[in-house]
Structure 1
Amino acid sequence: MFKLTSLNLNGIRSATSKGLEAWLRQEKSDCICVQEVKAQASDVSGKFDSLAEMPSHFHFAEKKGYSGVGIYTRHVPSDVVVGFDDGEFDAEGRYVELRFDTLARKLSIISSYFPSGSSGPERQEAKFRFLDKMYPHLMALKRGREFVLCSDVNIAHQQADLKNWRSNQKNSGFLPQERDWMTRLTTEGGVVDVYRQLQPDTTDACYTWWSNRGQAYAKNVGWRLDYHLATPAMAAQALSESIYKGEKFSDHAPVTITYDLSL
């Protein structure tokens, strides 16, 4: 079995101060893909470069205290790919890919942090540029490799993926163009939303992010923004899923899926 967890940390220093490492020891994931690290290499070195005996691989943003992604893993990758576009978004620290290649299989585990457009039109346009680059990247990857992309996508795909869908139709994260991108990815793109494959009808229980305003967490006024997006062969190996809400390490909840897989 291969247990894979994804979590937007909203700051690695904050999340670890709230008991993340103790939970990881108990959870015994094989890999945890993290997003929004909000740290630089110097902040991580000697402090967070290993969690629960899992060494790490990061892609840090150039801007201090911003973005950043990483993967902690119990398995030694055959290769590590940092970045995907050689430009705007690589400077923001949004993509790291671990490759586990054997004679029988080429497999990538990816942690990526999609931009949010909620701060204004300029960032929404950046988000659209990111989506325009990410789609062909994933299609090219899919032609030669199996993969699971763990990500805070910053998009709620369907009405079931957020509480107040009616009032959010003109807000970033639930815009028609963003939802159309997800639809295209999961239809003609052939990439599988693994949680939805396992839980096609879940509504209130599926949320992974809650605003810090208005008692959103207490009232479960949430959004499903965190995904495992996989090639069909990998998605077919998915056995079970969980969204952990026992402790709050972040404004996001960890999403764990167990696959029938050995590395």
Structure 2
Amino acid sequence: MPAALRIASVNVNGVRAAFRKGMGEWLDGRGVDILALQEVRASTDDLVGLLGEEWDVLHDPATAKGRAGVAIASRNRASIHRVDLGPDDFDSAGRWLEADYEVGGRIVTVVSAYVHSGEVDTPKQVEKYRFLDAMQERLPKLAEHSELALVVGDLNVGHRTLDIKNWKGNVKRAGFLPTERAYFDRFIGAEDEPDYNRGAGLGWVDVGRRTAGEVPGPYTWWSQRGRAFDTDTGWRIDYHLATPALADTVQSYVIDRAQAYDQRWSDHAPVVVDYAI
């Protein structure tokens, strides 16, 4: 791998459909070293066939066929990978995949995560909180395992009002509930804390917010309904959460937003970050 390690993450909303719409062309020209995918919704054979032999592919499909699914593809082989998250009776299949990569003599741990979307006052929201609880327990262990650790993916929560264009209209909806956002206060730190996003909370850094600064967005997901994409009425729910040591190596952070609605191959945009390892 090169000195600048390029890691991209995207919810593909079905990888087969994404490739039909142009994902392959995007990937061919992007120089990605490690690619984390969410909502794969395909078999491992499908995924390997689409990406090609030059990629080493790890894939954790969901228990229910055709649902969720996370993957990590890389230019070199992972030294170890793990998929278990939470208690034994908790089904996290297709939503959490960890992999270790040797880069410049150091171990970089990458997690592809897909948090439940949830729905207020339904079992879906209960499962979302169970996942966030398990994630909260796992994050400190990841940081202990490797000082260069990274959790990427569709985390389905807008942490702050800056992360949602129409935040006032969504304060009672899943994805922006105060209880959900409080988890991110614990992961990253609360915005009213002096050490917010400097390794506060559980010690993780929101690379997107640190890079963009105190500005609206930039957003990573737009509803397929109406003109949300055209008017940039979006949500920033796709993250790179890094340990401080890794966050300090960031060279660039880019959201590959399509030029036009009809050029999109997912309702999410890829988040591409260069780390100087």
Q: What TM-score, normalized to structure 2?
A: 0.87
CA distance in 2, matches of 1:212, 1:253: 13
SS of equivalent residue, structure 1 residue 97: strand
How many Å apart are 1:52 and its aligned residue? 8.1
Contact preservation (8 Å) 2:158, 2:235: yes
Matching residue of 1:183: 185
Contact preservation (8 Å) 2:120, 2:173: no
What is the number of equivalent residue pairs in this alignment?
A: 257
CA distance in 1, matches of 2:178, 2:238: 18
Matching residue of 1:207: 219
Compared with structure 1, are the counterparts of its residues 239 and 103 closer, same or farther at alpha carbon in structure 2 (3 Å cutoff)? closer
Matching residue of 2:58: 57
The one-letter amino acid paired with 2:242 is A
Matching residue of 2:239: 227
Compared with structure 1, are the counterparts of its residues 107 and 137 closer, same or farther at alpha carbon in structure 2 (3 Å cutoff)? same
Q: Which runs of 4+ in 1 moved over 6 A?
A: none
How many Å apart are 1:82 and its aligned residue? 2.3
How many Å apart are 1:252 and its aligned residue? 0.3
Please state if 1:173 is matched with 2:185: no
CA distance in 2, matches of 1:196, 1:99: 25
The one-letter amino acid paired with 2:119 is S
CA distance in 2, matches of 1:18, 1:102: 33
Compared with structure 1, are the counterparts of its residues 208 and 27 closer, same or farther at alpha carbon in structure 2 (3 Å cutoff)? same
The 10-residue stretch of structure 1 (116-125 or 153-162) with the greater mean CA deviation from structure 2: 116-125
CA distance in 1, matches of 2:209, 2:44: 35
Q: What TM-score, normalized to structure 1?
A: 0.92
CA distance in 2, matches of 1:53, 1:200: 36
The 10-residue stretch of structure 1 (19-28 or 227-236) with the greater mean CA deviation from structure 2: 19-28
SS of equivalent residue, structure 1 residue 27: coil
The 10-residue stretch of structure 1 (96-105 or 241-250) with the greater mean CA deviation from structure 2: 96-105
Matching residue of 2:41: 38
CA distance in 2, matches of 1:64, 1:183: 34
How many Å apart are 1:3 and its aligned residue? 0.6
Q: Percent identity?
A: 37
How many Å apart are 1:87 and its aligned residue? 4.0
CA distance in 2, matches of 1:162, 1:251: 15
The 10-residue stretch of structure 1 (58-67 or 119-128) with the greater mean CA deviation from structure 2: 119-128
The one-letter amino acid paired with 1:10 is N
How many Å apart are 1:21 and its aligned residue? 1.3
Matching residue of 1:123: 124
Q: Map Cα deviations across residues 1-37 of structure 1 (whole Å, 9 max, x no partner).
A: 0111000010011111111111111001111100001
Compared with structure 1, are the counterparts of its residues 61 and 259 closer, same or farther at alpha carbon in structure 2 (3 Å cutoff)? same
How many Å apart are 1:83 and its aligned residue? 3.0
SS of equivalent residue, structure 1 residue 174: coil
Gaps of 5+ in 2: 190-200
SS of equivalent residue, structure 1 residue 138: helix
Gaps of 5+ in 1: none
Contact preservation (8 Å) 1:110, 1:150: yes
**For 1:93-172, what aligned pairs fall within 5 Å after superposition?**
93-101=94-102, 105-118=106-119, 121-145=122-146, 146-172=148-174
CA distance in 2, matches of 1:100, 1:68: 21
Contact preservation (8 Å) 1:59, 1:83: no
